Chain A
């Protein structure tokens, strides 16, 4: 068992790392494809915009939320709520709301499912063309691994208690 303040510091640093890696994952090239002299590079944003034609547009928005927006909001809310606790200061205003939001969004954050989807897609394409994996792929995979570690460290009831005690 890690002691509580130490665990919180670890959670905060993992959340910060994941947040920055997620920003890297959406800015760098994700995958690129070469076949017959033609080349096509894809970023995570391009994958979201794949549903950009007409009837599927709402799905593009939903996918954007599932794989980028919601994971970022969860991490941001967690950093906001836990930051002062680690420094043993009074929680920020709305810290409890922020943590509540992060908890409620949890089932809708699908970064890890996206990575499995990418793996399946890679295997489907592998036979047909040469696929190059870009830095954003590794950044995204990093986000997933770090998020799993972070979620394992979090004891939500201890955090609720810590947020509760220090606002009184």
Chain B
């Protein structure tokens, strides 16, 4: 538990000639292709994992650019029409004095996506370089990335609710902007990127060094 040095006396399923099902935990002989319990595909290591990770990650980063440039919300009232971007929405909330909510939106729409890009890049590069440093921390980082990524969707749902709710003909209407679509795509792509990462590759790097 929690040891940080090389793990002596412990072998991986792969070393024992076994492969564990990623979905249900059942172990099988190495050659088995499909899990006998849940029919999930079995792969001792996903050799194409990093390719998929990079592909989804780059797609996610590209989609994140228009998400920040274009407006998220189109508001028109009696007197004016305005457009607000992700950052614009956060600044508006700060100006209204809603510090807590502004922080939540900022975290969900900026800190989490950007943090996720950096974390996935770090994980992928460290596996490619077969680094043996910070294995435990990297496993934890992966868990956090996988758990927290979906929370970025908050802003998309805010846009959905606001545009459904604020439809008061002449007084005020709110409509979704194109950025909502690219932001949602960015979140979906990075979630797929995190899911494509085979965290078992982190162990392998350290085993090859021994």
The 8 Å CB contact of B157, one of A67, A124, A128, A131, is A67
Chain A residue contacts of B162, Cβ below 8 A: 121, 124-125
The B interface is mostly helix, strand or loop, or mixed, namely: helix
Contact A107–B191 (Cβ < 8 Å) = yes
B37 with A96: CB separation less than 8 A = yes
Tell me the smallest distance from the CB of A11 to a CB of chain B, in Å. 17
- Closest Cβ neighbor of A163 among chain B residues: B37
| Binary interface encoding of chain A residues 122-146 relative to chain B, with 1 for a CB under 8 A from any of its CBs, else 0 | 0111011101000000000000000
What's the minimum C-beta distance from A108 to chain B, rounded to whole angstroms? 8
Q: Looking at the complex, which of A15-23, A29-37, A71-79 is the stretch in contact with chain B?
A: A29-37
Instruction: Verify A103–B168 contact, CB threshold 8 A.
Output: no
Q: A128 to B23, alpha carbons, bound, how many Å? A: 48
Residue A110 CB within 8 A of the other chain: yes
- Smallest CB separation, A137 vs chain B (Å): 11
- Answer whether residue A28 sits at the interface, using C-beta atoms and an 8 A cutoff: no
**With an 8 A cutoff between CB atoms, is A154 at the interface?**
no
How many chain A residues touch B (Cβ–Cβ < 8 Å)?
51
From the candidates B98, B184, B188, B191, name the one contacting A123 in the complex (CB within 8 A): B98
Q: Interface residues of B toward A: which range?
A: 35 or more
Q: Is the interface of A mostly helix, strand, loop or mixed?
A: helix
Residue in B93, B104, B153, B159 whose CB lies within 8 Å of A50: B159
Are B146 and A38 in contact, with the CB atoms below 8 A?
no
Q: How far is the CA of A63 from the CA of B183 in the complex (A)?
A: 13
Residues of A within 8 A of B (CB): 31, 33, 35-36, 38, 40, 42, 46-51, 53, 55-56, 58-59, 62-63, 66-67, 96-97, 99-100, 103-104, 107-108, 110, 113-114, 116-121, 123-125, 127-129, 131, 156-157, 160, 163-164
A–B pairs, 16, beta carbons within 8 Å: A33-B165, A40-B167, A58-B181, A59-B176, A59-B184, A63-B157, A63-B160, A97-B38, A100-B40, A104-B23, A116-B151, A120-B105, A120-B154, A121-B165, A125-B166, A160-B25
